[in-house]
């Protein structure tokens, strides 16, 4: 016995449209082979607390320290930067010469209990380390318990 299947003409077009969207997104938006550090979501940030401060680390290889801008506005930390890497090859018959240009930025919320004015940034071996001291109110307090004599 034969069964009938309802044919929907537009279902194939929708999947074709999705395929075209993916093609353009992968080709132009993400630009294959371009380092992920230059996309906003690609700037990976490690953030942890110590007893006295909040530490933020991120990897920005190939970026000069003077091309990095760090701002703290209210409780939002923003790291911006730009890279301009161009090598001049003075040889004949070179096969490939690539240039990398791009900018990146990342904003993250900070706890309200930091002192932004005393923040310190250190750039070493492609790693940016930002140390932001905690305010006195945010630091843990130890309360000594005394036994009452009876």
- Domains of the chain by residue range: 36-89+97-133
Chain segment 99-110, per-residue pLDDT in tens: 667 788 889 988
Q: Which residues of 41-54 are buried (b: 16+ CB within 10 A; e: fewer)?
A: eebeeeeeeeeebb
- Looking at residue 10, its pLDDT comes to 63
Chain segment 66-92, per-residue pLDDT in tens: 889 999 888 889 999 887 776 666 777
DSSP string, 50-67: -SSEEEEEEE-TT--GGG
- Looking at residue 33, its pLDDT comes to 46
Residues 132-137, mean pLDDT to the nearest whole number: 84
- Looking at residue 128, its pLDDT comes to 94
Asked whether the beta carbons of 121 and 129 are under 8 A apart, the reply is: yes
Could you say which of 2.60.40.790, 1.10.600.10, 2.130.10.10, 3.40.50.2300 is the CATH number of the domain covering 36-89+97-133? 2.60.40.790
- Looking at residue 12, its pLDDT comes to 59
Retrieve residue 133's tokens.
């001291």
Q: What's the pTM?
A: 0.60
More confident residue, 48 or 144: 48
């Amino acid at each position: 016995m034969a069964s009938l299947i309802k044919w929907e003409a537009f279902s194939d077009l929708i999947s074709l449209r999705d395929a075209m969207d993916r093609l353009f997104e992968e080709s132009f938006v993400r630009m294959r082979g371009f380092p992920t550090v230059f996309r906003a979501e690609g700037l990976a940030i490690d953030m942890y607390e110590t007893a006295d401060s909040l530490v933020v680390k991120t990897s920005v290889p190939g970026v000069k320290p003077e091309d990095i801008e760090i701002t703290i506005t209210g409780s939002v930390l923003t790291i911006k930067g730009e890279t301009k890497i161009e090598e001049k090859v003075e040889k004949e018959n070179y096969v490939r010469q690539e240039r990398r240009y791009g900018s990146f930025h990342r904003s993250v919320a900070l706890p309200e209990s930091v002192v932004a004015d005393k923040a310190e940034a250190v750039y070493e071996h492609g790693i940016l380390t930002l140390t932001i001291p905690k305010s006195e109110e945010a630091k843990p307090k130890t309360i000594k318990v005394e036994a009452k004599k009876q």
